[in-house]
Structure 1
C-alpha cells in the first residue's frame, strides 16, 4: 500500500440554498446526487471545451466540497465565482484541510484498524464520502484516488501529523510506504487519468479527451451543452491516445516527444513515464488525422515515438494502458 501527501490540492466549499442549481449549471456531469456522494466532472466554457476538471463531493444538502488541481486554485475560483448567483458562496479552504491519499489492496484493512467505520469495498462503495474518526480526529474519507482505486482522507490540518503517524503504525506490517510524485504520475498515466495543462486545455472537448463519462447531456441545460451536442455528433479526427512501449534502455520519455504513425509525425506526447506495472514506457498524447480516429484506425497502423532521434516502437489504444489487461476500478 502507498501513502501520498496531496495536501497541495486546491479545496473549496460551495454553499447556499441554490448550491446544487448553481453547480448543475457549471458542471457538465450530473451533480444532483445524494449527500455522501462525490462526482468527477468537467467544467466547460460556451465552446464546450475545458476550463477545468474537478471532484465535487456533496457533504450536505446545501454544501459541496470541491477538489481541484494544485495549480488551478486561483483560476478555478475566478471562473466559478463569475458564474454564481446571489446567495451561493465559494470559500477557499485549501489551507484548512490536508489530503492523504492511500492506494493498494491492503488499504481497507489498514483503515479498519484505526476506525470503527467499515471500509469493506462492498460497504464503502466507489465515490462515497463519509465522516470517520481516526483516534481523536474526525476527517472526511472518500473512496477515490488519483492513483487508481483507493481512499483519500480530507483531514483538518491540526490533526494531520497524528493521522499520518497512526496510518504508518497500523500499516507497518502490511507494507505501507510513502510514495512520491514521480510514482503518482506513473500510476495516473497507467490508469489513463488526465491532467490539467497537459491533456486537458481550453482547446479540448470531453469527447476528444475520452471523458464522455464526465458529461450528462440529459440532465438539462449547462454551460457548453449546445456545443457538446454538436461535438458528440461530429467525426473525431483528434483523439487522446495511450501508448505503451518497452522498458527503456537509455533515453526516457517525459512528454513533448513526437508520436509517429507509419513513420510520419501525427501528434505529440503530453505525459509520459515508466510504468512499473507494465515494466515499460507509458504515455498519453494527442493524435490528429483527416480521418475519424477509432480503435480500428489505430490498429491499422504501426506506432512509434521519437526518443532523442531514435524511433521506439509502441502500441496505441484509446483505452488506458492498464485497462488493456486489467479491469478499470
Structure 2
C-alpha cells in the first residue's frame, strides 16, 4: 500500500538513493530548507521504526528501560527518552506516545530491530507486556516550520486543541474515514507536528498536506537541518562510545525517577560533574571526513562526527573535551580550522536530584 505514496512522490520529483525507501530529495532542497525555517515543510519519515507496547505493565516496563519518567505520563502525553545500555552508553533517542491502551515508540531507522531484541530480552514471563513492530502498518509524516499550526488547523479543523500544547502531546483525529494520530514536535528544535498515518491512508494524507501548502522535504535536507540543529543520531553521535549527558540529551533524562538500566552511571556523572566531553556544532573552513580528530595546539581533544555543506559554509558536529573550552574556541579538524558553536537542540545542565530519589 505504501507504493501508492511512492508513485505520488515520484510524480512530483522524488529522488530515491541507495536502499532508502523514502525520498532523499524532491529536487527542491533550497525551497524545502526555507519552508522549514519560514513556512511549513513535509518530511516523509516512514523509514523510521514504530514499536508498540501493550499490557498492564507497559508504562512500568518502558520506565525501567529508558531515561525519562514514563510513569508520570498520562494518555495523550509523550516525551523524548533515551535507550541506554548497562553502562549508560547510548543506543537511541526515541519518542514515546502514551495512548489509552498502548505506548507507541518512534525510533531511528537503523535501531528498530536492535531495540526490538533489546526490549524482548527484558520481558519476563510474569510481565504483562506485549511488544510489536508496527512500522509497516503506518506511515510517519513530520511537518516542520512556523506555519505548521495553521496547516494542522486546516487539516483537522479550527478546534484542533494541540496548538500551544507541550511537546509530545497528541490526539487521534478523524480525517475522512481515517484515524490519524497528530503529535506536537518535529524531532528538531523547530516548531512542527508528527503524524502517524495508517499505511492505507498514506497517499491520501500526503496529497492533502501538500495541497494545503506543505513543501515536500527529502532526507538530504533533513540531514542538513538535524546537523545545524544539533540532533544526534545513531552510528554518528549516538554510539556506545558516548553517554546521553555528553550527547546533550539532558531534557530526555529524569534524575528523580529512580532505577533504570544505566541509571547508576548517569546519576554519578551528574552528581560529580563528571562529563568529560560534550557535543558541539563546529563551523569549518574546509571539508574533512567524519571521524577526523579535533585538535588544540597539537593535542587531540575530540572527534568530528558529522559534516554537511550549507549555503553559509561547512558545518559539523563534534565531541570535544570540556576542559578544552566551549563556544568560540578555535580548533583544528584535520587540515581544516573550525570554530565551536552552540546548537539549539542540545542542552548541557547539571541537575540536583531531590534527596531520597536514588
Identify the TM-score tier after normalising by the shorter chain: 0.7 to 0.9
Q: What secondary structure does 2:256 align onto?
A: helix
Does the 8 Å contact 1:242/1:316 carry over to 2? yes
- 1:49 and 1:24 map into 2 onto residues whose CA distance is 17
- 2:78 and 2:309 map into 1 onto residues whose CA distance is 30
Shift of residue 253, structure 1, vs aligned partner: 4.7
Q: Evaluate the alpha carbon distance shift between residue 137 and residue 163 of structure 1 in structure 2; reply closer, same or farther with a 3 A threshold.
A: same
Unaligned runs of 5+ in 2: 1-39, 348-358
Deviation digits for residues 211-234 of structure 1 (CA, Å, limit 9, x no counterpart): 122211211211111122222214
- 2:250 and 2:232 map into 1 onto residues whose CA distance is 13
Does the 8 Å contact 1:236/1:293 carry over to 2? no
Does the 8 Å contact 1:262/1:302 carry over to 2? no
- 2:303 and 2:340 map into 1 onto residues whose CA distance is 13
Does the 8 Å contact 1:114/1:135 carry over to 2? no
Partner of 2:133: 92
Deviation digits for residues 145-203 of structure 1 (CA, Å, limit 9, x no counterpart): 134321111000000100011111111xxxx3211111101111111111011101122
- 1:262 and 1:274 map into 2 onto residues whose CA distance is 26
Partner of 1:167: 209
Does the 8 Å contact 2:288/2:336 carry over to 1? no
Partner of 2:239: 201
Partner of 2:323: 293
Number of residue pairs matched?
303
**Residue of structure 2 aligned with 1:237, choices 267, 276, 280:** 276
Deviation digits for residues 3-25 of structure 1 (CA, Å, limit 9, x no counterpart): 11110111111011111111111
Does the 8 Å contact 1:238/1:286 carry over to 2? yes
Q: Evaluate the alpha carbon distance shift between residue 282 and residue 134 of structure 1 in structure 2; reply closer, same or farther with a 3 A threshold.
A: farther
Partner of 1:327: none
- 2:166 and 2:326 map into 1 onto residues whose CA distance is 35
Q: Evaluate the alpha carbon distance shift between residue 38 and residue 138 of structure 1 in structure 2; reply closer, same or farther with a 3 A threshold.
A: same
Partner of 1:129: 170
RMSD: 2.4
- 2:178 and 2:296 map into 1 onto residues whose CA distance is 54
Partner of 1:146: 187
Does the 8 Å contact 1:244/1:321 carry over to 2? no
Shift of residue 55, structure 1, vs aligned partner: 0.9
**Residue of structure 1 aligned with 2:82, choices 35, 42, 60:** 42
Deviation digits for residues 268-326 of structure 1 (CA, Å, limit 9, x no counterpart): 211111345xx2222111224xxx437xx2358422333xxx423x3214x316889xx
The reply to whether residue 187 of structure 1 matches residue 222 of structure 2 is no
Partner of 2:315: 282
Does the 8 Å contact 1:253/1:281 carry over to 2? no
Unaligned runs of 5+ in 1: 325-329
**Residue of structure 2 aligned with 1:305, choices 333, 344, 349:** 333
Partner of 1:114: 155
Does the 8 Å contact 1:50/1:200 carry over to 2? yes
